[in-house]
Amino acid sequence: MGTRKYRGIERKQARWGFVFVLPAMVFFSLFSFYPIINAIYTSFFDKRALSKLPPKFLGLGNYIRLFDPSRAASDLSFLNSLKSTMVFTLGTFIPLLIVSLILAVFISNLSSTKTKKFLQISYYCPAILSSVVAATIWMIIFDPRGLGNQWLNALMNTPGVDRRWLVDPVMEQVSTMVIYFWKYIGYFVILFITGLASIPPTIYEASTIDGATKNQVFWRITLPLLKPTVVLVSVMAMLQCLKTFSTQYMLYSNGAPRAPINVITFNIYVTGIQQQYLGRASAMSVVLFIMMLLLTLLQFKTTKSENVEY
């Protein structure tokens, strides 16, 4: 009899659990699963926003068009977008990863807790500004008469040279990377500091007793133990970079050339919203989705197999 009553409670409990997760399930079905399925479906059609005709089925036509090598010559092609996204992602996440790791190691080795705290907060400050504000500040710094030229020329002792930050195609890409790097550096420093703090100090003590130098400690102990954090941070940084939009949008709408910074998200926005080619934009979205999916799966795989035990 006792068990029967218990089962009744369990069933009641189960019902409540289901009630509690229901709102989220409805939400995610409507605003994540349905849209991605819809994007895949729409990507097979020539769908336009303002057209009254039923959309024409194209099969893989949109994708073939996106990856058509003969269109690569055009500045604003999707292949070019892929290229500028790759350039931006690699050019941002590699410096971000290396510099934030170095800074985190340096900060962790400081003895004063106050300095540690101060540096973490100061490095984090740019992250609280919105991307639009960040881009606005840097656009003025990158003015021909702005601080960018002044400081770089002072550093390199080349007075009066204009680096054409927002005009030259390569420099324009560099500018977007600098803005992004500036905004996210503090965030990644903190991630690494947390990762470093989770390594037990006894390991360091043991190795110093064994006579290891600081260099050896870093390369043989810190870095291998930090590997899960490194993988996590790099995938997160890459995913973040693939989604970049505001910086590029701001620079373009203020007169910088579009082709070098025509990243995928920006291309989706222009193609789908401004030009109203919804089918073609959906195909781009699906490509972006697949890229990010592969990256995330890679992260899951590496973090699962390489869990470090201290």
Partner 1 sequence: MQIEKRFTLPKIGIYLVLLVMLTFTLMPIIFMISASMMTSRQILKMPYTWIPEGIAWENFAKAIQGNDKTYIFVRNITNSLIVSTAVAISTVLIASLTGYGLAKFRFRGRNTVFMMIMATMMIPFEAIMIPLYMVVMALRIQNSYIGLILPFLVSAFGVFQMKQFLTTFPTEFLDAARVDGMGEFGIYWRIVLPNCKPVIATLAILSFRSQWDNLLWPLLVSQSDKMKTIPQYISSFALERSTDEGAMMAAALLASIPMFILFMSLTKYFIGGSAIYESRKG
Residues 187-226 that bind partner 1 (CB under 8 A): 187, 190-191, 194-195, 198, 208, 214
Binding to partner 1 (CB under 8 A): which residues in 101-120? Answer: 102-103, 106-107, 109, 119-120
| Cα–Cα distance measured from residue 221 to residue 200, given in angstroms and rounded to the nearest whole number | 11
DSSP designation for 45: E
Least Å distance, CB 148 to partner 1, is: 10
Rg for the chain, CA atoms, rounded: 25
Binding of partner 1 by 249 (CB under 8 A): yes
Looking at this protein, which amino acid is placed at residue 85? T
Binding to partner 1 (CB under 8 A): which residues in 136-175? Answer: 136-141, 143, 145-147, 150
| Cα–Cα distance measured from residue 104 to residue 185, given in angstroms and rounded to the nearest whole number | 10
Task: Quote the tokens at residue 7.
Answer: 């089962």
| Cα–Cα distance measured from residue 220 to residue 210, given in angstroms and rounded to the nearest whole number | 13
| Cα–Cα distance measured from residue 204 to residue 3, given in angstroms and rounded to the nearest whole number | 54
Nearer to partner 1, 47 or 70 (CB): 47
| Cα–Cα distance measured from residue 249 to residue 43, given in angstroms and rounded to the nearest whole number | 24
Least Å distance, CB 288 to partner 1, is: 5
β partners of residue 48: 277
Binding of partner 1 by 243 (CB under 8 A): yes
Least Å distance, CB 90 to partner 1, is: 19
Least Å distance, CB 238 to partner 1, is: 12
Binding to partner 1 (CB under 8 A): which residues in 26-85? Answer: 27-28, 31-36, 38-39, 42, 49
One of 98, 132, 152, 156 touching partner 1 (CB under 8 A):
132
Task: Quote the tokens at residue 106.
Answer: 């340096």
Lay out the site mask for partner 1 across 254-293 (x = CB under 8 A, - = otherwise). xx--------xx--xx--xx----x--xx--xx-xx--xx
Binding of partner 1 by 131 (CB under 8 A): yes
Task: Quote the tokens at residue 78.
Answer: 């999707």
Residue count, binding to partner 1 (CB under 8 A): 101
| Cα–Cα distance measured from residue 161 to residue 199, given in angstroms and rounded to the nearest whole number | 47
